[in-house]
Chain A
Amino acid sequence: MTTLKQKWAAASSSTSLKATSHAAADTASYRKAKNRLPGLAVPKSTTPTTKPPLTFPGQLAQSTVRGYATQKQATAYIHGDKLYDIDKVRHDFPILNRLINGKPLAYLDSAATAQKPAEVIDELTRFYNEYNANVHRGVYKISEEATAAYEEARAKIAQLINAKSPNEIIFVRGTTEAINLVAQSWGRANVGLGDGIILTEMEHHSNIVPWQLLAKERGAHLKYVGLTDDGHLVHEDFRQHLESGGIKLVTLTHVSNVLGTINPVREYIREAHKQGCRVLVDAAQSVPHMPVDVQDMDCDFLAFSGHKMCGPTGIGVLYAKKAILEEMPPYHGGGEMIREVHLYESTWRDPPYRFEAGTTNIAGAIGLGKAIDYLSEIGLRNIQAHDQELTEYMHEMLGKVKGIKIYGPANPRTKAGVISFSLGDVHAHDMASLLDEDGIAVRSGHHCAQPLMDRLGVSSTTRASVYIYNTEDEIDRLVESVERAGRVFKI
């Protein structure tokens, strides 16, 4: 038989690399080939005749994991002239060499935070070792280097999301702070008594609570777009709320952090703009996984976190249209954001600096810049194709487990990277503990989305999420371990 690995080898040696991504036929034949492989990919030499054991000797950490990764070379996508080489990607992430309970770490919690490639980790070290200095102030060499790297990171972000200018990019701590900034600055200046804000029932707490605080303070109303049983927004709710008048802002997530649902944000934005409302998009779960173009989308605000896209923690981004930013009052007062300070009043700098009071997370911003280099090198379209394929595979394989319930869209093509599920009466935390025994890291709980949990009628779910470094073997291990949990609980 011709394995996909051989096909891949043939393709890569051929001179005419076709500009097709992983074709459906290839996927199917790959799966077929995979199904004939043992459940867990272990180098042949360590598994003489029988089914490979689920244990990995500690001293074999490096070689086993490397061998483990090598087998997955089959998952190589060709997009344009770029190859998606899963083996290389996995080698870039030192943490994937870890053994958990004697088994290679299968990290399926990237929706919470992504792992970091050595390139990003090294750049942080290099910054502190070689050019650590405060930005925009010193006139000496290393301060200028730090400033250049910091501003370069801003430019990379602008380019990544196709902002018109780097001045539309504000560094914040993360998505949460980005949304709070909009609520406290734009919101307090623009939302008044009796005004409305439209949200959806699938929002993360970080896109609910800041608006509750604002609504309470200003006497405004929150209006929620409901969900269908299969986890899509009820468009009719949205239209009705918009038509009810007095809406100042629509704020919604691009991709649900619980269900993985990809929302048609472009359409919602177009409709909201017709009514003169501003729109904020929570892109924490989309920017890491797919090309996002703010000009095409035409959102007024976009918020996302660096740590979910291979960057450091504590750094995130608020994008806003220049004209809107210019009208917004400061969020925090302090150094760096001022033009002139007098005893009783001050004047502000232009955006983005108006919103970056105090010494910001310089290392974080530079690290995020590196992460963007890294992701761009792989290609966001390739990442999207890889994540999509794994999501579909996970959906299909988990769906076969007896007693399982998968939440959200039944069609995995309308979800991105995230699958929430439950198994019989096994509580999500018990499930996560049992998976941890097998070295598999998943998230369990309410995922900071309690209103959504209420809508689903559950108190918690188990969530597995994939990213650039995950493999179908890891999904197989997940499925096997979920089945084991089912046996422990006698489902």
Chain B
Amino acid sequence: MSSIYSEIILDYYRYPRNKGTLPHAQIHARDTNPLCGDVVEMQLEVDEKNNVKDVKFNGQGCAISQASASMLTELVKGKTIDDARKISKEDVLSLIGGQLTAVRLKCALLSLKVLKTGVYNYIGSTDASKDELSGL
């Protein structure tokens, strides 16, 4: 059975890494998936060299949305804001592994959309960045 529900996904769903809040975060974004009610919130603390010092997520929803959010926080931590900006859909999907249907893709990419929304609000958004976000 080619299920997307691998041990890894379930582990991140049950025992999420970096879940919580950061009181001194400079970057804060939140979004929902109105189709299914998934909620993801991301907070990033950035130092003067634009490195992501710490990152936390919060939220509720399906295993795919919550596990991907948790995995994404691990990917971002210690990177620069510019690295975070460059994370692609494919990067997130390879973390998750398995085949996703179009509807479930929205679940998987919600956290990336939230992260990028926060990052673009911080560094300044452009027409290109708006297009990128609406494509997620």
Please report A residues at the B interface, Cβ cutoff 8 Å.
425-430, 433-434, 436-437, 444-446, 459-460, 488-490
Contacts and interface: CB of A to CB of B under 8 A. Distances in A.
B128 interface: no
Interface residues of B, number: 18
B94 interface: no
Nearest to B2: A437
A442 to B, nearest CB: 13
Contact of A430 (B5, B60, B101): B5
A489 B10 contact: yes
Nearest to A429: B62
Of residues B3, B14, B37, which shows the largest number of chain A Cβ atoms within 10 Å of its Cβ?
Answer: B37
A434 B3 contact: yes
A434 B5 contact: yes
B37 A460 contact: yes
B5 A429 contact: no
Nearest to A453: B37
Given A427-B63, A429-B62, A489-B10, A445 B5 contact: no
> 3 closest Cβ contacts across the A-B interface?
A427-B62, A429-B62, A459-B37
29 contacts: A427-B61, A427-B63, A428-B62, A429-B61, A429-B62, A429-B104, A429-B107, A430-B62, A430-B64, A433-B4, A433-B101, A433-B104, A434-B3, A434-B5, A436-B101, A437-B1, A437-B3, A444-B36, A445-B35, A445-B37, A446-B36, A459-B37, A459-B60, A460-B37, A488-B3, A488-B5, A489-B5, A489-B63, A490-B10
B136 to A, nearest CB: 18
Contacts of A427: 61-63
Contact of A445 (B14, B36, B104): B36
Interface in B29-72: 35-38, 60-64
Contacts of B37: 445-446, 459-460
Nearest to B9: A430
Contacts of A459: 37, 60-61
Contacts of B4: 433
A429 B37 CA distance: 10
Nearest to B1: A437
A426 B4 CA distance: 14
Nearest to B66: A427
Nearest to B64: A430
A426 B5 CA distance: 11
Contacts of A436: 101
Contacts of A429: 36, 38, 61-62, 64, 104, 107
A436 B5 CA distance: 13
Contacts of A460: 36-37
Contacts of A433: 4, 101, 104
B78 to A, nearest CB: 30
A433 B61 CA distance: 14
A483 to B, nearest CB: 14
Contacts of B61: 427, 429, 459
A437 B61 CA distance: 20
A449 to B, nearest CB: 12
A145 to B, nearest CB: 41
Contacts of B35: 445
Nearest to B10: A489
